[in-house]
Structure 1
Amino acid sequence: MEKTLIKYTHCGRNIYVFSCSERRCPACLQSLRFGLPDAPVALTCPFRNGHAVPCALLIGSVHGPTHLGEWHDTEIHVGLSDSEGLVYNYTLSGVRRDESGWERCVCIQLCPAWRQQLRASWDRELERFSALPLWASERFAEEREFGSCCYGFALTFINHMLSLDGREGLSRDQFTGSHVLPRMKAASLYISVYHAVLQHGFCIAGVSS
Structure 2
Amino acid sequence: MDPGIICFQHCGPKIFCFSLPDSCPVCEKALDNANFSLLPFRVPYPFVQASQYPCAVVIKPTTGDFMNDYFNSKDLHVGVTTSKGTIVEFDKNGLRHHASLQWGQCLLLDRAPGPWRDHWDATLRSVCAEDCWSPEDYRENSHNCYSFVLKFLVDLGYGSLSRAAKSRTHFCEEFIIPRTTSAGKYISLYRKLKKNGIYVDRTKMD
Asked if 1:109 is matched to 2:110, the reply is yes
2:41 maps to amino acid: V
> Structure 1 residues 168 and 47, CA, compared in 2 at 3 Å: closer, same or farther?
closer
Structure 1 position 30, deviation (Å):
4.1
Structure 1 position 167, deviation (Å):
8.5
Q: How many residues align?
A: 198
1:27 maps to amino acid: V
Give 1:89-168 correspondences, 5 Å limit. Answer: 89-101=89-101, 102-113=103-114, 116=115, 118-141=116-139, 144-146=140-142, 148-162=143-157
Q: CA RMSD in A?
A: 2.3
> Structure 1 residues 158 and 169, CA, compared in 2 at 3 Å: closer, same or farther?
same
Give 1:3-152 correspondences, 5 Å limit. Answer: 3-24=3-24, 26-32=25-31, 33-35=34-36, 38-61=38-61, 62-66=63-67, 67-73=69-75, 76-101=76-101, 102-113=103-114, 116=115, 118-141=116-139, 144-146=140-142, 148-152=143-147
Q: Paired residue for 1:178, among 171, 174, 183?
A: 174
For 1:172 and 1:27, how far apart are their aligned partners in 2? 46
Structure 1 position 168, deviation (Å):
6.3
Partner of residue 186, structure 2: 190
For 2:169 and 2:197, how far apart are their aligned partners in 1? 38
Higher RCO, 1 vs 2 (CA within 8 Å, ≥6 residues apart): 1
CA contact (8 A) 1:69 1:189 kept: no
User: What is the percent sequence identity of the aligned residues?
Assistant: 27
Higher percent of residues as helix: 1
Per the alignment, in what secondary structure is the counterpart of residue 135 of structure 1? coil
> Structure 1 residues 152 and 30, CA, compared in 2 at 3 Å: closer, same or farther?
farther
Partner of residue 163, structure 2: 169
For 2:118 and 2:144, how far apart are their aligned partners in 1? 26
Per the alignment, in what secondary structure is the counterpart of residue 145 of structure 1? coil
Instruction: Render the CA deviation track for 1:21-47: whole Å, top value 9, x for unaligned.
Output: 3222x2343444344x61111012111
Structure 1 position 133, deviation (Å):
1.5
Normalised by the length of structure 1, the TM-score is 0.83
Out of 2-11 and 47-56, give the one that drifted further: 2-11
For 2:160 and 2:187, how far apart are their aligned partners in 1? 38
Instruction: Render the CA deviation track for 1:58-110: whole Å, top value 9, x for unaligned.
Output: 1123412222343132xx32110111111110011211001222111112232
Structure 1 position 193, deviation (Å):
0.5
**Structure 2: gaps of 5 or more residues:** none
> Structure 1 residues 28 and 172, CA, compared in 2 at 3 Å: closer, same or farther?
farther
Normalised by the length of structure 2, the TM-score is 0.85
Per the alignment, in what secondary structure is the counterpart of residue 16 of structure 1? strand
